């Protein structure tokens, strides 16, 4: 994240998709909405362990297919 423009989300994407680090859990606006609306404010994605990245993809897909459930403003 020392490179300009690379924040936590991009770094997690690189770890997950580029380096096969399944525990990486990129958080964009859609994932944050799912986490807040389904799991609550105090949710810890580390509970998913080595499968966090694939679960994040399922969460993202669900949110994008059901935007009416996740349209709150951030």
Does residue 60 register a pLDDT over 60? yes
Q: Which residues contact 54 (CB under 8 A, 6 or more apart)?
A: 22
31, 63 contact by CB (below 8 A)? yes
Active site residue 9: yes
Q: For the chain, report the end-to-end CA distance as a whole number of angstroms.
A: 23
Which pLDDT tens digit goes with each residue over 21-59? 999 999 999 999 999 888 887 889 999 999 999 999 999
Predicted confidence at residue 43, as pLDDT, reads 86
Tell me which residue of 64, 26, 33 sits closest to 48, measured CA to CA: 26
Predicted confidence at residue 71, as pLDDT, reads 75
Q: Which residue of the set 2, 4, 9, 50 is catalytic?
A: 9
Taken in order of first residue, the domains within the chain and their CATH numbers are 8-67 (1.10.1670)
Predicted confidence at residue 69, as pLDDT, reads 87
Predicted confidence at residue 11, as pLDDT, reads 96
Does residue 74 register a pLDDT over 60? no
């Amino acid at each position: 994240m020392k490179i300009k423009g690379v924040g936590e989300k991009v770094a997690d994407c690189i770890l997950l998709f580029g380096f096969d680090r399944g525990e990486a859990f990129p958080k964009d606006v859609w994932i944050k909405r799912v986490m807040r609306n389904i799991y609550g404010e105090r949710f810890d994605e580390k509970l998913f362990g080595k499968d966090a990245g694939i679960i994040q993809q399922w969460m993202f897909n669900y949110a994008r297919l059901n935007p009416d459930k996740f349209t709150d403003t951030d």
